[in-house]
């Protein structure tokens, strides 16, 4: 793995989901695959992640998202939730827990690519805000 290669954590037990994500992300990201919440949290505590893709079919997926977002290292990292649920109440709960956006089943390449573009735009926006905040903090009289 090159040092500048972004790292994506994929949390799913579903083999076809893993294959789909490997096929479409392997050239862009160093992929770390985990099957459980505990394993995902362990990785999150020791690795600077650029993207998290979480399958809602794993046990306590929404709770895991909340627990990941509590960590300072992942506060601005986008978490994409793989789901087939279109229920408004489910989506609201997921967004409150820190989900950045949703990748709906059945998985489609164009939707994944548009989400990756959205994540990249969000990352640039966060960097810009951080840069402005840093300048204001270090030059309070200007």
Which tens digit of pLDDT belongs to each residue from 102-128?
A: 999 999 999 999 999 999 998 888 765
What is d(CA 57, CA 76) in angstroms, rounded to the nearest whole number?
A: 24
Residues in the chain: 142
Structural domain count of the chain = 1
| Residue 104 located in a structural domain | yes
44 in any annotated domain:
yes
In which domain, by residue range, is 56 found?
7-138
Please say if the pLDDT value at position 15 is more than 90.
Answer: yes
Q: Does a structural domain hold residue 107? A: yes
The answer to whether residue 16 scores a pLDDT higher than 60 is: yes
Q: What is the CA radius of gyration of the chain?
A: 16
49 in any annotated domain: yes
Quick check: is 34 in a domain? yes
- Which of the two residues, 125 and 39, has the higher pLDDT score? 39
Q: Which domain CATH number covers 118?
A: 3.40.50.2300
Instruction: Please report whether residue 129 resides in a domain.
Output: yes
Q: Residue 139 corresponds to which tokens in the numbers above?
A: 């030059």
The answer to whether position 2 is within a domain reads: no
89 within domain boundaries: yes
Instruction: Give the closest residue to 116 by CA, choosing from 134, 105, 100, 137.
Output: 100
DSSP string, the chain: --TTS-EEEEE---HHHHHHHHHHHTTTSEEEEESSHHHHHHHHHHS--SEEEEETTSTTHHHHHHHHHTSGGGTTS-EEEEE----HHHHHHHHHHT--EEEESSP-HHHHHHHHHHHHHHHHHHHHHHHHHHHHHH-TT-
Q: What is the pLDDT of residues 53-79, one digit of tens each?
A: 999 999 999 999 999 999 888 888 999
């Amino acid at each position: 793995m090159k040092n500048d290669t972004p790292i994506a954590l994929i949390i799913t037990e579903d083999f076809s989901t893993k294959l789909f994500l490997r096929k479409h992300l392997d050239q862009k990201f160093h992929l770390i695959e985990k099957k459980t919440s505990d394993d995902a949290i362990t990785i999150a505590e020791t690795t600077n992640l650029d993207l998290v893709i979480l399958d809602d079919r794993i046990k306590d997926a929404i709770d895991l998202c909340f627990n990941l977002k509590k960590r300072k290292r992942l506060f601005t990292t986008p978490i994409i939730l793989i789901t087939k649920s279109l229920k408004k109440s489910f989506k609201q709960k997921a967004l409150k827990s820190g989900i950045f956006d949703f990748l709906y089943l059945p998985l489609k390449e164009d939707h994944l690519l548009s989400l990756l573009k959205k994540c990249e735009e969000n990352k640039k926006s966060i960097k810009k805000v951080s840069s402005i905040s840093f300048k204001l903090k270090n030059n309070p009289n200007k």
